[in-house]
Structure 1
Amino acid sequence: KDELFASSDVVSIHLVLSDRTRGLVNSADLAKMKSSAILVNVSRGPIVDEEALLSALKAGRPGHAALDVYDREPLPAEHALRKLENVTLSPHLGYVNAENYRVFYRDTVENVAAWIAGTPVRVLNPEALA
């Protein structure tokens, strides 16, 4: 882990949030990053210690962060991350593309139509319908 943070130009986080991954990226890790490095988090906000990241970005290590996820979503308008110039923020849409929308809306229409017809699909607990 030490070598990864110290030698990487880009560290991109792609993990599920669990007890083991919460706070996985901490102040010690961030301090090892090069001033030219970029931290990317598109998985779950709490994997990166947000307060540690704020301090690290202000200190210039890493030099930049690109974030699609946050401890609190949506990210409040007054949040300190919004005030930093070395941060790129997006509203938790990293996974979205045209195909995602097609599938989402197609499945939604299919779900509603099936429910109206009395033949629900994709039911996880069919005993609740009995």
Structure 2
Amino acid sequence: NLTPEAAAESGVTYVSKQQLFEQADVLSVHLVLSDRSRGLVDAEALNWMKPGAYLVNSSRGPIIDQAALIETLQQRRIAGAALDVFDIEPLPADHPFRTLDNVLATPHIGYVTENNYRTFYGQMIEDIQAWHAGSPIRVFG
């Protein structure tokens, strides 16, 4: 855990969780999911954020209370969110994150190997070509 002493040794300013959320223009979450981190970004923390702030999560979905985040984004209490991870993956077709214009959602590609990229983009091309030919593949829902 970060302490004021460790922060000073690293040349950074130690702030409380509330100060961090209140001051950040972009808050990027980089944590391991654990009992301590689950729900760490809750409704209270989201309410501390500035209206022009952005939230980025590329670690684990359950670190953020997704119901609270959806409400925050729907009410435009923050500028937006960039999300690469979700409570349920793949993200359901009818999930609000898919329709909110202040959300950038990616399919959990924050950390991948070269082979993962080849597969992901290769299948994307196959999907587009099949759709264009009138025979969509890998269709869900």
Give the SS at the match of 1:65: strand
Shift of the 6–72 alpha-carbon distance from structure 1 to 2, 3 Å rule, reads same
Other-structure match for 1:101: 114
Within 5 Å, give how 1:1-130 maps onto structure 2: 1-96=17-112, 100-101=113-114
CA offset digits 1:74-121 (Å, max 9, x no partner): 00111011110000000000113xxx2259x9xxxxxxxxxxxxxxxx
How many angstroms apart in 1 are the aligned matches of 2:21 and 2:65? 15
Using the alignment, how far apart are the partners of 2:83 and 2:37 within structure 1? 17
**Residue aligned with 2:92, SS:** coil
When normalised by structure 2's length, the TM-score is 0.68
- The 3-state SS of whatever aligns with 1:40 is strand
Instruction: Give SS of 1:78's match.
Output: coil
Aligned length: 102
Q: Which runs of 4+ in 1 moved over 3 A?
A: none
Question: Structure 1 CA distance, aligned partners of 2:60 and 2:110?
Answer: 11
Larger radius of gyration: 1
Structure-2 separation of matches of 1:74 and 1:102: 19
Tell me: CA distance 1:101–1:7, structure 2 relative to 1, closer, same or farther (3 Å): same
Check the 8 A contact 1:23/1:49 in 2, yes or no.
yes
Amino acid of the structure 1 residue aligned with 2:37: T
User: What runs of 5+ residues in structure 2 fail to find an aligned partner?
Assistant: 1-16, 119-141
Counterparts of 1:30 and 1:14, CA distance in 2: 16
Q: Which amino acid in structure 2 is aligned with residue 30 of structure 1?
A: L
Tell me how large the CA RMSD over aligned residues is. 1.8
Unaligned runs of 5+ in 1: 106-130
Name the CA distance, whole Å, in 2 between partners of 1:70 and 1:51. 11
Give the percent of matched residue pairs that are identical in Structure 1 and Structure 2: 54
- Deviation, 1:61, is 2.3
